[in-house]
Structure 1
Amino acid sequence: LFIEPAALSRLREELEVLRIEEDCEVRRILYQLTDEIAGYEEVMRDNLRMLVKLDVIFARGKLSSDLGAVEPEINTDGRIELAGARHPMIPADTNVPLDFRLGGGARGIVITGPNTGGKTVAIKTVGLFALMAGSGLHVPCERADICMANQVLCDIGDGQNIADNLSTFSAHIQNVLDILKRVTRESIVILDELGSGTDPAEGMGIAVAILEQLRESGCLFLATTHYPEVKTYAAGHEEILNARMAFDRENLKPLYRLEIGKAGESCALYIAKRLGMPDDMLEMAAQRAYGGISRELKTELRLEEGQKVRLPKLPSPTLEKMQNRKALQNRYSSFNRGDSVTVYPEQVIGIVVKPEDDMGNVLVQVKKEKRLINHRRLKLKVAASQLYPEDYDFSIIFDSVENRKARHQMGKHHVEGLVINAGADGE
C-alpha cells in the first residue's frame, strides 16, 4: 500500500510538470540544432567519411606497432613467401616463427606430421596473412611477399551439428563441395584434416579426389592429412609439395617447425607417450598397428619391460539406489502445525493446521479455507519454529472470532445455549 501525504501531492505534480517542460526544451534545442546542421549535410558527411578513413589508418598503424608487423610486398603472380611469420594470437614467448613459400611451379602443399605439432596453426597463419594483406594491413613477420586472392576458402575445425543432422564427415564434405564450386585460379584454399571422420580407406580416396580437383583448378591450396597415400599422391605431381612439422623423437616433443619438401609421420605413439599413456597400453597399440614392436621403437618410446602402470582414477559421482532416496524423502515428508507451505500445482501459500494422517493427507488452511491435501503436493516454505514463538496460540489463525469468544466465556463459567464448532481449528 502506498500512501502519499497531501502536502507532498502538490509538490510531486509540480515536479512532473517541470520534467515535462525540461523534456520539451531539450527537444526544441535538438530540433533547432538539427535544422541548422541540415544545411551543411554534404559537408558533415564528407567530414565523417574523412574521420572514418583517418580512424582506420590510425587503427592499422596501432595494430602494426603492437604486433611488430611489416609492410608486405604484393604480387599478382600467385606467390606467397613468409619469413619468420608469427600468428598474432599466440604469445610471443611461445611463438615459433613460420617460414613458408608457395607459388611458381608448385601450387599446393600437403602438410603431414604429429598431432599437436602445429599443422593447423601453420595453415591458419598463411590464410590469415593473405586476408590481412588483402585488407591493407601489415603482417607480423620479418618479411612477406603475398599474392592478391579473389577469395580465401577454408574448411577448418569440426562442423558437427545435431540440429542439421550433420556428422563430422558430412560437415567437412559439405564445406569442401561448396569450396570446389567456388574456387578459381585466383583463389587460396585451406583444408584441415582432409578426408577425416570416416573409414580410413574411403577417406583416403576422397582426399586424393579433392586434391586432384584443386590441382586442376590451378588455385593455391594447403591441406593437412595423416594418410600415407595422400603423401604418395603429392610426391607424384610436381605441382604439389610435401611438407611436415618437425618432431623431436629423442625428447618426444613437437618442434612446431615447418619443413617443406619432406613427408612426415603422425607420431601418434610418441605423442601418446608424452601425454601420459602407460607403457603397457603403448605396447598393445604398437602390436595392433604394426603386428609387433621392434627394439628400435621400444628404445625410442622408452618402454620398460613388463611394466604395468594403470591410469590413476579420478573421483566420480556415485549412483544412489531408489529405495534409499525414498527413505530419505520419507524422513522429511512430515509437516508441523503452523508450517508455511506451498501447495502444488496451484503454487499458493497455505498454513498447516494438522500434520499428515495415516493416509499421508495434511490439513492445510488456504485463504481461510481448510483443505486436506496429500503431503506430496506440499513443499515446506518456512517452518513454524521460524514464524512463531514456542507457546503461540494457533487458534488466533485457525479459529473464528465467534468461536474464540465462546471458548473464552466457556472457560470462565457455563453459559446456557452457547455452541462451539469443535472442528473449526481441525482438532
Structure 2
Amino acid sequence: MDRKNIEILELDKIKEELKGYAATIPAQEQILGLTPVADLDYVRKCLKEVTAARELMAEFGMPGFGGIRDLRQVLDKLEKGIVLSLQELVDISDSLRGFRSLKRYFREIIDNTEETLLEKYYGLIIQEGEKIIILKELERELEACLDEYGGLKDSASPALARIRSEINRTAHRIREKMDNIIKSPQYQEMLQDNLITKRRDRYVVPVKSEYRNIFQGIVHDQSASGLTLFMEPLAVVQMNNKLSELENEEEKEIYRILKMLSDKAGEYLYELRNNLEVATFLDLCFAKADYSRKIGGVEPEINDQGIIYIVKGRHPLLGEKAVPIDIHVGDKFKTLVITGPNTGGKTVALKTVGLFVLMAQCGIHVPAGQETRLAVFKNVFVDIGDEQSIEQNLSTFSSHMHRIRDFLYKADQESLVLIDELGAGTDPGEGAALGIAIMNSLRKKQATTIVTTHYSQLKNYAYDEEGVENASVEFDLNTLEPTYRILMGVPGGSNAITIARKLGIPEEIVEEASKYLSTDEIKVEKMISALSLERDRYSKLKEEYLAKEEKIDSLIKKYEEMVQRLEKERERILEEARKEAEGILETARRETRNILQDLKKSEFQFRSDIDRKGNQLNQHFKEMEEKLFPAELEEEGKRPRQALAVGDEVRLLSTGSRGQVLSIDEDRQEATVQAGIITVKVSLGDLIKAEMPEIEKKEMVKRYRVRKTERVSPSLDLRGKRYEDAQRILDKYLDDVFLAGLKQVEIIHGKGTGALRIAVQEILEAHAHVKSHRLGRQEEGGLGVTIVDIY
C-alpha cells in the first residue's frame, strides 16, 4: 500500500496513540511498524485475538508485563557465545520473573474457568499464554548470584566471597594507616585537607604542592590549579599493591561467574526467545484491547467482497467531538457520491471510511456499532485536501490529476478509492464532465469508490446510473449549521438561495436569482426537495417505530424481571418448606426413638402401659403427617373407606406397620389393632387391608411421594464413616428399608477399633423400625457385620 495514502488517512497518529498502551519495547516497536494486511483470514484472526483479550481484560483485569526487558540483542549475543554483562544478566533475571507472573495470570484463569467458556471466549489468547515456559532452574541460579541492586552477591562463589573479604580487610587497614597520617601533627601543615580519596584505584591524600619533596609518597594526580597533589604515602604502597592484586583477582572471578551464567542462559536460548515472542504478542494484543476499550471499539465483520457498512462510526482522532455517522457502499452499489456544504463533514466522512479500513487491516478495532462490516483491500487510494506541489509548481487541479492518474492505472476490484472534491479547481462544467468520466473508469475496474463534490451534474449522474448512489451531509436550515450526519440516498442541496432568504436578502433578489438557475439545477433542487420530504416522513415513521420498540423492550424486560423475582420467591418458599419438613421429620424420629426406648425398658406385663405408649406413638405420627402432608389428608377424607371386619389383616398407612383388627368402633370411626406386641387405637381412615397390594402401593406412593423405581439394597456399608455421618445415613436407610418392606438387612461397619460397631448398635437400639439386631456369624462377616430384623 502506498505510504502517502496511509499518511493522508493519519494511520500513524493512531499507531502513536496505540503505542502508549503497550508495556514492552518490542511491542511498542511492532505497533509503530504495523501496516495494513490484505489477507482476509489473517485480519479476522487478529481482530478476534483483540476481542478475546478485551473479554479477558474485562473479566480478569489486565495482565502485568512488568520486568520483561527487550532481550533481543542479549539473545543475539548468547547465540554467538558472547559473555553477557552483569546488567544483561539482570535483564534476563527480571524478564524470567515477568514471564512467570504472566504465566500465572493465565494459569489462574484456566483453573477458575469452565473449559467450554475458555474455548468459546478466550481460546485464541489463552493458548498463546500457555506457550510461556517457566525456567525455574535458570531463574534460581541467577537469583542465587545477583543481588537486588543489580550486583553480584558475595555468595556467588566461594572464591569471590574470600577475595572480597580480603579486599575489605586490606582496604580497612589502608584507611586506618592513612587516618593516622592525616591526624598526625607532623603532616597537618602539609595536607590541603584531612580526607582520604582515590586516584587511579589507589588510596591518596591531598598534599600542598610546596611539600612535594618533603611528603614521603608517590604523586598520582594534581588539581586543575596545580596547588594540590594527590599523593600515595609510602607507608601504604605495599598494602595498595596488595589491594590492586585482590581487585584484579575479583575481576577475573566475576568474569568467570558471568561466563558460567551466560553459558547457562545460552542453554535456554530457544525458551527465552519463545517467551519474549509470546510476551510481545500478548502485550500487543492487550494494548490493542485497552485502546479498543478507550475508543469504544468493536470487532467489525470482515469480508472480501468490497462491502463497507459502517454504523455509528466515529473518527477516533476527534474524541468526544466526533459525530457518529452511518455510511455504506459496495453491496448494491460500488460508487457513492457525497454532496453538501463546506465544513459539513464530507471530508471527515471520507477519512473515517479510509481510516477504519486501514485500522481493521492492522488488527485494530474501530469505534463504531456492532453491525459494522468492513472489506479488506489490497490498495487504498486517497486524494484528500488542497495539496499543491511547490517543487513541481503544480496547481491544485494539476496535483489532484497527478494522483488520480496513478489511481486509474493501478485500481482494480480489490481497491478502495477515496476522492475529495472530484473535478474541483477548474471550470465547473469541465470539472463535472471529467469527474463523471473518472467515475466511469473506476466503475469499469470494479473499484469501490467514494467521492465528494459540489457539482449538480454528479448528483444527477448518481441518481440516473445503476450502481451509483447519492449521499449528503445534513444541513439544518433553522440554525444554518451542518449536523455532520450522513444521509444515505439523498443528494445535498446547495441551499444558497434558501440561506440567502433566511439571512434577509430581499425577496425580489432571491426570486430573480432563482430564474438564472439552469434546467439541470432546477431538476436537482426539485429532486432533493422531494427526497427531503420523503426522508422526513420516513424519519417520523422510524421514530414512532423505535419508540414503540423501546416500549415493547421495556415491557419485556419488566416481565422477565418479574418472572425472575417470582422464581426466586418460589425457590425461597420451597427451601423454607423443605427445611421445616426436615426439622419435623427429625423431631419425629427423635421422639419416636425415645418412645421405643421407654417401651423396651418397660415391664411387658404392664399391657395397659404398653398400649398407651403405642397409642402415643400412633398419635405422634398422625400429628407429623398433618403438618407435613395436609393436602393428602384432605384428599384422604374424600377417598371411600374400605369395609373392615374383626380379624382382618391390615396395614397402617401412617407407619407402614402390619397388624390385626381386634375391634371396631363405628361411632368414633376407630379400630383397635394388634401390631406385634402393641395394641393401638387407629383411625379407620388410616387402615387398609393387607391383602390389597396394588391399592396399598398407590396409597403409599401418594402419601409419601416415594418412588419405588429403585430397589433398596439389603446391605449398607458404613466403613470409614464418622459417627454423625453414620447416624444420618443409617437413619435414612432404615426408613427406606421399612417402607420397602424388607424384613432383614445387614449393616457393614468393619472390625477396626470397634468404635463404629458400638455406635451402630446404639443407633439400632433407639430406632423405631428395628425389631432386633445381632452380630453376624462367622460366615456372615463376624464382628464386622450387624444383622438387623425390621418390623
Cα distance, 1:141 vs structure 2: 1.2
How many residues are matched? 278
Specify the SS of the correspondent of 2:302: strand
Please point out which of 359, 362, 368 is paired with 1:135. 362
Q: Tell me, yes or no, if the aligned pair for 2:307 and 2:329 is still in contact at 8 Å.
A: yes
* TM-fit CA distance, 1:96: 1.7
Report the residue type matching 1:193 in the other structure: E
Query: Offset of 1:153 from its aligned partner?
Result: 1.5
Please give the alpha-carbon distance, in whole angstroms, between the structure 2 residues aligned to 1:10 and 1:212. 92
Residue matched to 1:3? 225
User: 1:239–1:141: structure 2 CA closer, same or farther, 3 Å change rule?
Assistant: same
Does residue 162 of the first structure (1) align with residue 390 of the second (2)? yes
Farther-moved stretch of structure 1 (258-267 vs 61-70): 258-267
Counterpart residue identity of residue 362, structure 2: S
On the 8 A contact 2:500/2:510 being kept in 1, the answer is no
Q: Residue in 2 aligned with 1:219?
A: 447
CA distance in 2, matches of 1:237, 1:210: 14
Task: Structure 2: give runs of 5+ residues left out of the alignment.
Answer: 1-223, 234-239, 518-791
Q: For residues 30 and 108 of structure 1, do their structure 2 counterparts lie closer, same or farther at Cα, with a shift above 3 Å needed?
A: farther
Per-residue CA deviations over 1:289-324 (Å, capped at 9, x if unaligned) read 9759xxxxxxxxxxxxxxxxxxxxxxxxxxxxxxxx
3-state SS in 1 of match to 2:355: helix
Name the one with the larger helix percent: 2
Counterparts of 1:156 and 1:78, CA distance in 2: 21
Residue identity in the other structure for 2:226:
E
Cα gap change, 1:37 to 1:199, in 2 (>3 Å): farther
Aligned to 2:418: 190
Task: Tell me the residue number matched to 1:109.
Answer: 336
Aligned runs of 1:329-344 on 2, under 5 Å?
none
Q: Is the contact between residue 158 and residue 168 of structure 1 (CA under 8 Å) also seen in structure 2?
A: yes
* Structure 2 equivalent of residue 152 of structure 1: 380
2: CA distance, partners of 1:65 / 1:44: 31
Q: Which amino acid aligns with 1:229?
A: Q
- State the partner residue of 2:210: none
1:213 deviates by 1.0
State the Cα distance separating 1:115 from its structure 2 match: 0.4
Deviations 1:225-259 (A, max 9, x none): 11111112222211110111111112111111111
Q: CA deviation at 1:164?
A: 2.9
Helix, strand or coil: the match of 2:229? helix
Q: CA RMSD in A?
A: 3.8
* Cα distance in 2 between the residues matched to 1:287 and 1:29: 98
CA distance in 2: counterparts of 1:56 and 1:138, whole angstroms: 13
Moved more, 114-123 or 99-108: 99-108
Question: Which shifted more, 259-268 or 65-74?
Answer: 259-268
- CA deviations 1:390-411 (Å, max 9, x no partner) are xxxxxxxxxxxxxxxxxxxxxx
- 2:32 maps to none
The C-alpha deviation readout for 1:18-72, integer Å capped at 9, x for no partner, is xxx9xx99x9699846665455443333222212211110111011100111111
Identity score, percent = 40
Compare relative contact order (CA 8 Å, sep 6+) and give the higher one, 1 or 2: 1
Structure 1 residue 149: Cα displacement: 1.6
Amino acid at match of 1:136: G
- Residue 99 of structure 1 is matched in structure 2 by 326
Residues in 1 aligned to 2:353 and 2:231: alpha-carbon distance in whole angstroms: 71
Relative distance call for 1:272 and 1:256 in structure 2 (3 A) is: farther
SS at match of 1:7: strand
Q: Deviations over 1:366-406 (max 9, x none)?
A: xxxxxxxxxxxxxxxxxxxxxxxxxxxxxxxxxxxxxxxxx
Post-superposition shift, 1:131? 1.5
Aligned position for 2:458 = 230
Provide, for residues 324-343 of structure 1, a one-character-per-residue CA deviation record: whole Å limited to 9, x for no partner: xxxxxxxxxxxxxxxxxxxx
**Equivalence map 1:394-409=2 (5 Å):** none
For residues 238-387 of structure 1, the aligned pairs below 5 Å read 238-267=466-495
CA contact (8 A) 1:115 1:271 kept: no
Q: Residues 284 and 177 (structure 1 numbering): CA distance in 2 closer, same or farther, change over 3 Å? A: farther
Distance 1:160 1:285 in 2: 36
SS at 1:195 equivalent: coil
1:5–1:245 Cα change, 3 Å: same
Q: CA deviation at 1:76?
A: 2.1
Match of 1:90 in 2: 318
Measured at CA, do residues 105 and 39 of structure 1 come closer, stay the same or move farther in structure 2, by a change above 3 Å? same
* Alignment partners' CA distance in 1, 2:329 and 2:444: 17
1:171 aligns with 2:404: no
Aligned equivalents of 1:9, 1:199: Cα separation in 2: 90
In the TM superposition, what is the alpha-carbon distance from 1:199 to its structure 2 partner? Answer: 2.5
Change (3 A) 1:28 1:229: farther
In 2: Cα distance, 1:85 partner to 1:55 partner: 27
Query: Is this contact kept in 1: 2:477–2:499, CA < 8 A?
Result: no
Change (3 A) 1:28 1:76: same
Query: Could you list the per-position Cα deviations for residues 185-225 of structure 1 after superposition, in whole angstroms to 9, with x for gaps in the alignment?
Result: 01111111111122322222221121111111111110001
* Change over 3 Å in CA distance of 1:29–1:82 after alignment to 2: farther
Q: Check the 8 A contact 2:501/2:510 in 1, yes or no.
A: no
Matched with 1:407 is none
Shift, 1:78, TM fit: 2.2
Give distance in 1, aligned partners of 2:504 and 2:499. 13
Secondary structure in 2 matching 1:173 = helix
Contact 1:195 1:204 in 2 (8 A): yes
Closer, same or farther: CA 4–158 of 1 in aligned 2, 3 Å: farther
Q: Take 1:228 and 1:123, find their aligned partners in 2: how far apart are those partners?
A: 19
How many angstroms apart in 2 are the aligned matches of 1:286 and 1:54?
67
SS in 1 for 2:372: strand
| SS in structure 1 of the partner of residue 322 of structure 2 | coil
In structure 2, how many angstroms separate the alpha carbons of the residues matched to 1:253 and 1:7? 82
Q: In the superposition, relative to structure 1, how do residues 37 and 177 fare at CA in structure 2: closer, same or farther (>3 Å)?
A: farther
